[in-house]
Chains A and B, each alone.
Chain A
Amino acid sequence: MLAAGYYPGCSLEATARDYAESVAGAAQALDLRLVEIPDWNCCGATAGHSLDHRIAVNLGARNLALAAGLPRPLVVPCALCFNRLKTAQADLRSEVDLVIPEIARLGQDYQRVEVVELNTYLTTPEMIDRARKRRVHDLSGLRPVCYYGCQGQRPPQVTDRPDFENPQGLDRLLKALGAEVLDWQFKTDCCGASHTFPRPDILFRLVGRLYEQALAVGANCLVTGCQMCQANLDMYQKEIARELGRQVYLPVFYFTELLGLALAHPRAGRWLRRHMVDPTGLLAGTGLPREVWA
């Protein structure tokens, strides 16, 4: 059994529980052990890093120090956490003196762990091969566009992504699982992120464009690996469709959910029930047996 370190982050314990469950399920189906960082703390996204650089570095330092003893790499399902941990790691190369003694005491080998985003980890050629071999059901009938969002990609000097303009990992994985993945140019366009409440107009415009482009290439669903993106794309579909003046029916999957479906995880159907856009209408029209998703 393969094992890796795991940093779930806060939202997977609350709003994105569906994501958390599908991550656990996909890992199980792939025979992977994700070892959670003991007593992990806030990654410092949103408020932390924008208010106090010192706090941001220390939050990251603590998580990294605690992860040093875990199996490698350190896998992070949340794009924001990933970005924060990577940034902290980069900062700690030159600003290690910002670390307060209480945290420094935990160990200072901050560069030891390799921080990778879950969707990178699960889309290496070896992992795709692993998934292909364990595939039970074919995802044909699903015509997804993959949506990677921003925080996992940019800035490339922090994320170390060579293909930050046109990431391919999820595309490859889902193709291997039999989905008819479609190419589009909006893989990393902004989903509106945290503007949901203060400026819904911005969110509506940005997400509306994503819908239109997805429909234009002939997609029937969206697949993402970030719970912020998933929420923004999923939550206001009806309202945005009304503003666009057209029918939009685009279920928004976590890629881990599709892994669960293809690898016949017994609980995969349940994860989907938390989505605002009910995907069962779409899934009923695919080759997937009803018992897998119902």
Chain B
Amino acid sequence: MKKSDAPIVGPARSGAVMVVGAGIGGMQSALDLADAGFLVHLVERDISIGGVMAQLDKTFPTNDCSTCMLSPKLLEVAANPNIRIHSRTEVLDLQGRPGDFKVRVRQAPRFIDPAVCSGCGDCVSVCPVELPANFNEGLDRRKAIYRHFPQAVPSAYAIDKSGPSPCKTACPAGVSAQGYVALIAQGRFREALAVVRRDNPLPAVCGRVCTHPCESQCRRGLVDEPVAIRDLKKFIADWEMEIGDLARPDVKPRREEKVAVVGSGPAGLTAAYYLALEGFRPTVFEALPAAGGMLRTGIPDYRLPPKILDYEIDYIRAVGVDIRLNTPIGPNLSLSDLRGQGFQAVFLAVGAHHGRSLNVEGQDLAGVRSGVTFLRDAALVRLECPGERIAVIGGGNVAVDAARTARRSGSREVTILYRRTRREMPAYEEEIEEALEEGIRIEFLAAPKRLIAREGRVTGVELLRMELGEPDRSGRRRPRPVPGSEYVLPVDGVVNAIGQTPELDFLTPGDGLEIASGDRLDADPLTLQTRVPWIFAGGDAVTGPADVVQAIAAGKTAAESIRRWIEGEDLGAGRNERPAPAEGDATGAVPAPRHRPPSAAAETRIGNFDEVVGRFDPETAKAEAARCLACGICSECYQCLEVCRAGAIRHDAAPRELDIPVGAVILAPGFRPFDARLKPEYGYGRLPNVITSLEFERLNSASGPTGGRLQRLSDGREPEKIAWIQCVGSRDPAAGRDYCSYVCCMSATKQAVIAQEHAPGLTAAIFYMDIRAQGKGFDRYYERARARPGLRYVRSMISRVIEDPATHDLEIQYYDESDRWIVENFDLVVLSVGLAPHPEAQALAQALGVDTDRFGFAARTGLNPLTTSRPGVFACGVFQAPRDIPDTVIQAGGAAAEAAALLAEARGTAVTIPEIPEERDTRGEPPRIGVFVCHCGVNIGGVVDVPAVADYARGLPHVVYTQACLFTCSTDTQAGLMDAIREHRLNRVVVASCSPRTHEPLFQETLRQAGLNPYLFEMANIRDQCSWVHADQPAAATNKSRDLVRMAVARAARLEPVHRFPAPVEQSALVIGGGLAGLTAALSLADQGFFTYMVEKTGRLGGLADRLRRNLEGLDVRAYLDDLREKVRQNDRIEVHLNTELQETSGRVGWFTSRLDENGREIEIHHGAAILATGASEYQPEEYFFGQDDRVLTQLTLHELLSGPNDPLAGVRDVVMIQCVGSREADHPYCSRICCAQAVSNARSIKELRPDIDVTVLFRDMRTYALKELSYRQVRELGVRFIRFEPDQAPEVTPESDGLTIRVFDHTLGEEILLRADRLVLSAAVRPHPDARALASRLKLPLDADGFFMEAHLKLRPVDFVSAGFFLAGAAHGPKFLEESIAQAKAAAARAAIILSRRELTAGGEVAIVDQEHCVACLTCVRTCPFGVPRIDENHFAYIDPAACQGCGSCAAACPRRAIQIGHHTDEQIMSKLAVI
């Protein structure tokens, strides 16, 4: 059993469908299902819907603007209450069975709440991060906060993040380093400093003495050197000091609670600062006479000038921090006393100020002092020289600081003694460097054994040599003494700097605190709370000596804990989460060395305590900041938060996974263009003027990076000569892509035509193998293009593109048609890149358990192209095989029908009925008109002076409100429009923008939502009629816009509400034609639960397909058809009428009456919709002795013979086939689409049966498109010969007794050749069905120029007729393969189901109304109506059924008595417009 026919186990439990991929295919599936009563989850990976079609400029073969076609569709999806768009979402897993699935999806955050975002775009202007704009194929840049294009749906913005930047993650205080670096790069120093102060109140201090863990994690270090983050921070802090314009932070309202902070070091100051910002009243108790803790007493002035520290402390004081100096905590003021004074909490940040003792003999000698004391005295009391020749013991920062301070105090010889090597030395690298520069010696692997004295005063240090042993717990190798290595260093002073501990003498037993080992305070590492709940402790006092930024981090932690403690919140909640840092992307970074601030020369600086390291100037700072690689993408600078008035930004949003119950899944993940870098011979990615076809679309698009100005990327010059290279990544086994990509021939043709239209005089060459113009109207378009002057088609594959390095012009070499070697230069080369399945579709298929082929397309499971290997999961669009937009739309509808059939019983169970606000009664109100004038981006605003038109409108009668909008159709503007209606009590609305054809329904819906009757609306088309047609006369275009607005306002004043009414629906369908398409449509409708009449003219079901045995892919057509016929016959919901002709159909959409003639018996049936599937016929050639010589036959006949019981090849040695017989000729200028594949299929059958038979195919272009290309390649490998001919050198056939002679000019050889054949097979054209014309006129349905039925819209409505309720499927629409007919038949069924699924439709509105007072029953309307609606009623007046009337207005125009008016288009309304011209 075929999988597609697998029975459904159990009932359909869900009336919801998931559609994965929201390109044009996914959108169409979603709309068809949502309109037919199913809830649709539309899942899209990107931030907005529309897919690749949104990127296209124009579409072939009509040259329509892609955006203009797509935008209304986007809005339709957005407005549909039964479609839920899940953006940034991927599918992880699918569980369950058809009808009852559970889909697990992962939704990545947009970081902007779409429900709150107004789409204003204010955030974009402040975002400092730029990256290549993927929507523009990387041709320009966009911000990290973005949306792809103004009309995007959802209209909300989104932020790209790849995780917190490594620098931010590395910072103990969590300062957003990438954020302020990004702002510095833009010269926004004030904002940058504010970013630092969010998490660190000591930017000037940290800009000098921070250990900058951020820089050690900086990914720029992988390219060259880390960004100088610390120097940048110093720069902005000093910049502020210099300009003297302090930016004050926001302080929350003051509150009563007091908090005590003990110690004014970095931890204490930070805690107090953030507590003050929260509104608390923090008091800092400092034992010493100056604030700053170790910053003041431990860090020498040449590293941190005191005035800098003062500045920062003043800043902290200014936000409401009280600092009490000389106020030690101790016996006079205990912690309990503080509690008693009303302090609710205490933060102990007392630091570690006690120098650890040496523990060697002589440690207490005169001339020996501790490093901490030495430095403290130098800072607070006075600088004393510790001796001429001194030793400093220790390898930490205190040791180095003491050594350098001693050097500045006059010590001539300073030696640092360290027991390990430089590698282990904990002091900062740059400090050690500077110390060495200042002449300080460091003695490594030396440990003091004892201090030697004379007269109680130290005179030397006895040292032991050390060597490194095994690593200890800290990971550093443990030093061990080398026995007998003692030696003496003579000195007259020793500074001991081997470490510090906290001084905890101030604690009293009554405080209840415990002291941990190493004389440290004990506190919870996460919350810093001690055993006594109201006492918190942090900084060096808890951790032991650490660095400034860790102390700051502790201060922040304490402030948050204390806030929570006071407010009674959980102290630990959510604090242990640290997301993994972003990876960063260093590819493409050009090495650029780090900038270094100036620093004082060693010889001058040892004479003073001036700051050693200088700072950047603004330009250097910006340049250095620009080295940042923006690892996190979003820098988390929070500027968007500052400007977002809507408050929509959620920087901490997290991804979430959810399970969505659905009954079926439709996969429409689409494609990505082939990566042209994989064909390096064309130089894409290396040569700026070699671009892809999709880049060309963006360059031509008005919303693209150049505003629609086509230009070269090397120099911005407009190209005058362009080459297209076809089949880049298509028909190329070497690239792993041996299929044809279907669209590129037409797309290149379109691009060349558009380029020429934009730039008259531009010449173009298209280098190709075969032109594949197999779609409807394609060949006409191609022939027209070929006839254009300056547009050449060159049949030659190009092997390489060479650039002239001076001009960036591109050289192409090729053999032309006359075999001449040509070397030609072009300004621009466009690579027509093929379509490859979307890379993520592979993962999607895997997640869902759907098989794919070797290219990544969904594996086919039989003739029905819509099913996949997993029942209940359907596929459409390019995921199934390369195809164009109409075929994708058809398939999308077909897939919708499949899902609907599967879930028929659950229809309507998951949807919600839209709520329409009650309509405001405007009767009796004088007109109050609002006028909205649209810029349409630059479409209108680039030509028409929109503000001037809006101003003009303000002065028109009845106008009470005007507004100029960038895009009136954008969702946010729509919301604004509704607000304006309510606020200004508008009762008429005029929009001056684009075409009412595409946008009127949208605006009318907006009026309805605002409580206005939707007919109180008028549009002025100032785009098509002004800015487009008068693009070069802006002043005149503006004047004309004023005229059109004036006319629209005049009509608006006379508009009246129009009300529509319900019209019942007969929920059954009529299918005309019993071929494959008709059978498929009927069965699909029946499966969806609708009763269907099938009318077949002949006595047998099956149509042309009845003559087929196998298709090109080798599938058994006969079996499929037999099965289908059987299912139709067995189905209770299908009533088949054979030998029956449709006589007449009358009525309206939802309620038709048809008269049938069944073998002479008349039957009347009622149906709500009709599908026309009357098929086509095979041309019976008049050429090549067909019908005169029985050795000449058509492909179809050969196919029948080959699958028949007799050997048709007996005695045959040579077979010749001629393509395009009756196709692509002057009288029938269309391609019959199927004949190339038919010829390939038959040639293969011959070769399989009799490999010795020579088969030669004479062709013009082999059009084995998409995956059919694989068979074409296969038959060539089987030895079938292909010889190309030109139509003006068509083959000549001479029948002779022993065979036929065929004379043909071979273009490859350049000479005429003679072929003989035992059989001549003609690939005869597909012609419209002989009855088509008669049927068309009976049903008043249109035919195209070739006699096939014409759809409502070539691209987006390929199965609809313009007449509502009629649909189209199969070869009646144009030549098609079986699987294409099947898809279209199902699509037609899906479209019909939208009508049939409803009990009633709304009717009326813009329809004809007969004023019977004036009617004289002259029958003019009856004769005029193209739909046959008017009749003369029993009172002898004309009656026009409002439910049937199409509103075309023909009757109203024709009525000699003016007795007919069209609702919403009354004579008065029209005349009022004319009156104001």
A residues within 8 Å of B by Cβ? Answer: 165-166, 183-185, 213, 216-218
> In the complex, A185 Cα to B804 Cα: how many Å?
10
A184 to B802, CA, bound (A): 10
- Set of chain A residues within 8 Å of B803, measured between Cβ atoms: 185
CB–CB A216/B680 < 8 A: no
B683 touches A185 (CB 8 A): yes
- Per a CB cutoff under 8 Å, which of B686, B802, B806 touches A166? B686
Q: Give the complex CA separation of A213 and B802 in angstroms.
A: 10
Instruction: Please name 4 further chain A to chain B contacts, defined as beta carbons within 8 Å, in addition to the given A165-B680, A166-B686, A216-B806, sorted by A numbering.
Output: A183-B686, A185-B686, A185-B802, A217-B805
16 intermolecular pairs with C-beta atoms under 8 Å apart: A165-B680, A165-B681, A166-B680, A166-B686, A183-B686, A184-B805, A185-B683, A185-B686, A185-B802, A185-B803, A213-B805, A216-B804, A216-B805, A216-B806, A217-B805, A218-B805
In the complex, chain B residues whose CB is within 8 Å of the CB of A165: 680-681
CA distance A165 to B685 in the complex (A): 13
For the complex of A and B, 4 pairs with smallest distance between CB atoms? A165-B680, A217-B805, A216-B805, A166-B680
Give CA–CA (A234, B802) in the complex, Å. Answer: 24
Cα separation A218 to B806 with both chains bound (whole Å) = 10
Residues of B within 8 A of A (CB): 680-681, 683, 686, 802-806
Q: How far is the CB of B360 from chain A (nearest CB, A)?
A: 42
Q: Which of B683, B803, B804, B805 has the most CB of A within 10 A?
A: B805
Chain B binding surface, main DSSP class: loop
Q: Give CA–CA (A167, B753) in the complex, Å.
A: 38
From residue A137, how far is it (CB to closest CB) to chain B in Å?
Answer: 20
Instruction: Compute how far the CA of A185 lies from the CA of B806 in the bound complex, rounded to whole angstroms.
Output: 13
| Minimum distance in angstroms from A171 CB to a CB of chain B | 13
Closest to B591 in A: A175
Q: How far is the CB of A209 from chain B (nearest CB, A)?
A: 10
**Alpha-carbon distance A213/B680, docked complex (angstroms):** 18
**Residues on the B chain within 8 Å of A213, using CB:** 805
Q: Once bound together, how far apart are the Cα atoms of A185 and B685, in whole Å?
A: 13
A216 to B811, CA, bound (A): 14
Residues of B contacting A217 in the complex (Cβ-Cβ under 8 angstroms): 805
> B804 to chain A: which residues have CB within 8 Å?
216
Complex CA distance for A218 and B804, rounded to whole angstroms: 12
Bound complex: CA A185 to CA B683 (Å)? 8
A217-B807 Cα distance, complex, nearest whole Å: 11
Chain A residue at minimum C-beta to C-beta distance from B685: A166
**In whole Å, how far is A178's beta carbon from the nearest beta carbon of chain B?**
13
Bound CA span A254–B947, Å: 69
Residues of A contacting B806 in the complex (Cβ-Cβ under 8 angstroms): 216
Task: Name the distance in Å between A140's Cβ and chain B's nearest Cβ.
Answer: 15
Least Cβ distance of A267 to chain B in Å? Answer: 33
Residues of B within 8 A of A166 (CB): 680, 686
Q: How far is the CA of A68 from the CA of B683 in the complex (A)?
A: 40
Q: How far is the CB of A287 from chain B (nearest CB, A)?
A: 19
Residues in B with CB closer than 8 Å to A185 are 683, 686, 802-803
Please indicate which of the listed interface residues A184, A185, A216, A218 has the most CB atoms of chain B within 10 Å of its own CB. A185
Residues of A within 8 A of B805 (CB): 184, 213, 216-218
**Closest-CB distance, B811 to chain A (whole angstroms):** 10
Closest CB in chain A relative to B829 CB, distance in Å: 13
In the assembled complex, the Cα of A165 lies from the Cα of B686 at a distance in Å of: 12
Bound form: Cα–Cα A185–B810 in Å: 12
* CA–CA, A166 and B805, complex, Å: 16
Task: Collect the chain A residues with CB atoms within 8 Å of residue B802's CB.
Answer: 185
Q: Which residue of chain A has its CB nearest to the CB of B800?
A: A185
B804 closest partner in A (C-beta): A216
Contacts of B683 in A (CB 8 A): 185
Chain B, Cβ-Cβ closest to A209: B802
A218 partner residues in chain B, CB cutoff 8 A: 805
Closest to A218 in B: B805
Interchain nearest-CB distance for B734 vs A (Å): 10
Which B residue sits closest to A185, measured CB to CB?
B802
Complex Cα distance, B680 from A185, in Å, reads: 10
Chain B residue at smallest Cβ distance from A163: B680
* Cα A185 to Cα B681 with chains together (Å): 9
Query: A185 to B803, alpha carbons, bound, how many Å?
Result: 8
- Note all chain B residues with C-beta closer than 8 A to A216: 804-806
CA distance A239 to B804 in the complex (A): 24
Q: Which residue of B lies closest to A182 (CB)?
A: B805
Give Cα distance in the complex from A165 to B679, angstroms: 9
How far is B800's CA from A166's CA once the two chains are assembled, in angstroms? 13
**Cα-based distance from A185 to B800 in the complex (angstroms):** 10
Q: How long is the Cα–Cα vector from A184 to B805 in the complex, in angstroms? A: 8
List the A residue with the shortest CB-CB distance to B811.
Answer: A185
In the complex, how many angstroms separate the beta carbon of A208 from the nearest chain B beta carbon? 15
Cα A165 to Cα B805 in complex, Å, equals 18
Q: How far is the CA of A183 from the CA of B804 in the complex (A)?
A: 12
Complex-state Cα separation, A98 to B804, whole angstroms: 49
Please give the distance in Å from B224's CB to the nearest CB on chain A. 13
Rounded to whole angstroms, the CA-CA distance of A166 and B802 in the bound complex is 13
User: How far in angstroms is the closest Cβ of chain A from B513?
Assistant: 55
Q: Give the Cβ gap from B690 to chain A, nearest Cβ, in Å.
A: 11
Min CB gap A68→B, angstroms: 34
Q: How far is the CA of A36 from the CA of B804 in the complex (A)?
A: 44
Q: Closest Cβ of chain B: how far from A285's Cβ, in Å?
A: 22
A112 to B701, CA, bound (A): 56
Contacts of B681 in A (CB 8 A): 165
- Report the Cα distance A165→B804, complex, angstroms: 18
- In the assembled complex, the CB of A153 is this many whole angstroms from the nearest CB of chain B, namely 12
Q: Which residues of A lie under 8 Å from residue B686 when comparing CB positions?
A: 166, 183, 185
Query: Could you tell me the distance between the alpha carbons of A166 and B680 in the complex, rounded to whole angstroms?
Result: 7
Q: Closest B-chain residue to A215, C-beta based?
A: B805
Using CB atoms, name the residue of chain A closest to B687.
A185
Complex Cα–Cα for A215 and B181 (A):
42
How far, in Å, is B786 (CB) from chain A's closest CB? 32
User: Min CB distance, B778 to chain A, in Å?
Assistant: 34
Q: Report how far A217 CA is from B803 CA in the complex, Å.
A: 10
> How far is it, in angstroms, between the C-alpha of A170 and the C-alpha of B803 when the chains are bound?
22
CB distance from A112 to the nearest CB of B (A): 30
Distance in Å: Cβ of A187 to nearest Cβ of chain B: 11
A166-B677 Cα distance, complex, nearest whole Å: 11
Return the chain B residue nearest A184 by Cβ: B805
Q: How far is the CB of B1016 from chain A (nearest CB, A)?
A: 65
Query: In the complex, A183 Cα to B803 Cα: how many Å?
Result: 11
Q: How far is the CA of A165 from the CA of B687 in the complex (A)?
A: 14
CA distance A50 to B429 in the complex (A): 64
Determine how close the nearest CB of chain A comes to the CB of B1353; give it in whole angstroms: 44
Q: How far is the CA of A218 from the CA of B803 in the complex (A)?
A: 14
> CA separation between A184 and B804, bound complex, in Å?
10
Q: Which residue of A lies closest to B679 (CB)?
A: A165
Q: In the complex, what residue of chain A is closest to B683 when comparing beta carbons?
A: A185
Complex Cα gap A272–B805 (Å): 30
A173 CB to closest chain B CB (Å) equals 16
Q: Give chain A nearest CB distance to B679 CB in angstroms.
A: 9
Q: Which residues on A sit within 8 Å (CB–CB) of B680?
A: 165-166
Could you tell me the distance in whole angstroms from the C-beta of A40 to the nearest C-beta in chain B? 35
- Nearest-CB distance from B588 to chain A (Å)? 14
The distance from the CB of A132 to the nearest CB of chain B, in whole angstroms, is: 13
With CB as the reference atom, state the residue of chain B lying closest to A166. Answer: B680
Minimum distance in angstroms from A162 CB to a CB of chain B: 11
In the bound complex, how far is the Cα of B806 from the Cα of A213, in angstroms? 11
Tell me the complex Cα distance, A213–B804, Å.
8
Given the complex of chains A and B, what is the CA–CA distance between A52 and B22 in angstroms?
A: 60
Bound state CA distance, A218 and B805, in angstroms?
9
**How far is A141 from B1385 in the complex, measured between Cα atoms in Å?**
72
B587 to chain A, nearest CB (A): 14
Task: Report Cα–Cα, A154/B803, bound state, in Å.
Answer: 23
Which of A165, A216, A217, A218 has the most chain B CB within a 10 Å cutoff?
Answer: A165
CB A154 to nearest CB in B, in angstroms, measures 12
Chain B residue nearest to A156 (CB atoms) is: B734
Q: Which residue of A lies closest to B681 (CB)?
A: A165
A72 to chain B: closest CB distance in Å? 29
Q: In the assembly, what is the distance between CA of A165 and CA of B735, in Å?
A: 14
Cβ distance A256 to chain B, nearest Cβ, rounded Å: 25
**What is the minimal beta-carbon distance from B223 to any residue of chain A, in angstroms?**
13
Chain A nearest CB from B876 CB (Å) reads 36
